[in-house]
Amino acid sequence: MSSETKEKRYKWRREDYKENTHGLLMVNTGNGKGKTTAALGVLVRAAGREMNCCLIQFMKSKNDRYGEHESLEKLGVEVHTMGDGFTWDTKNPEQDIKTSEETWALCVEKMRSEEYDLLVFDELVYVLDYKFLDLQKVLAEIKDIREKQPHLHIIMTGRNAPQELIEAAELVTEMTEIKHPFYAGIYAQQGIEF
């Protein structure tokens, strides 16, 4: 096979890309590490194929910079970190609900814009599990948008995905913790966790 034939065979971007692409709703859930990391891997792959991508993070602090921000921005991926800082035991649920609603409004804006091929809503599943957002409204909005943009891929991450979300998605991956360095006294490390 000549290099010209091989290049043509593997060239991904077709004139009819949007018309012949089945957008996926993907959910990365479970108690194991790797939910966001897996979503970031898909973002890197999609950006490498010149797809228009956006990452919106619900809980990570808007005041912090993470390694993925640096890398994704170099690849031309739009990044929005909107949270007040990750917490398992919220001290201010009213503020968490307000932040979640503001972040979801940005998600809706990005979905409705029709400018993207892939959107990642990092930590949205936690927000749904904590009931900071109404699951039925979120699912209805996503269903409506996906009907109008059948090529759009969406990834959501977070523990405890509700059954209705699992049923709505085409791809659900559960990360299972088998062993974690935290239990050996090894805490979060730069380049691995952030």
- Would 147 be classed as within a structural domain? yes
pLDDT 10s digits, 106-161 = 999 999 999 999 999 999 999 999 999 999 999 999 999 999 999 999 999 999 99
In a domain, 133, yes or no: yes
pLDDT in tens, 63-79: 888 888 899 999 999 99
pLDDT at 87 over 70: no
Task: Please indicate, yes or no, if residue 188 is contained in any of the structural domains.
Answer: no
Whole-model pTM? 0.86
Domain count, the chain: 1
Residue 9, pLDDT score:
45
Residue 20 has pLDDT above 80, yes or no: no
- Please write the tens of the pLDDT for every residue from 150-160: 999 999 999 99
Residue 16 belongs to some domain of the structure: no
In the predicted model, what is the mean pLDDT of residues 83-100?
Answer: 78
CATH number of the CATH domain containing 85: 3.40.50.300
Let me know if residue 183 belongs to a domain.
no
Range of the domain at 141: 22-175
82, 106 in Cβ contact below 8 A? yes
User: pLDDT-based confidence at 10, cuts 50/70/90?
Assistant: very low
Residue 78 lies in a domain: yes
Mean pLDDT of the chain: 88
Asked whether the beta carbons of 60 and 66 are under 8 A apart, the reply is: yes
> How many other CB atoms are there within 10 angstroms of residue 51's CB atom?
20
Within-domain flag for 46: yes
Q: What is the pLDDT of residue 90?
A: 63
pLDDT at residue 13 in the model: 55
In a domain, 55, yes or no: yes
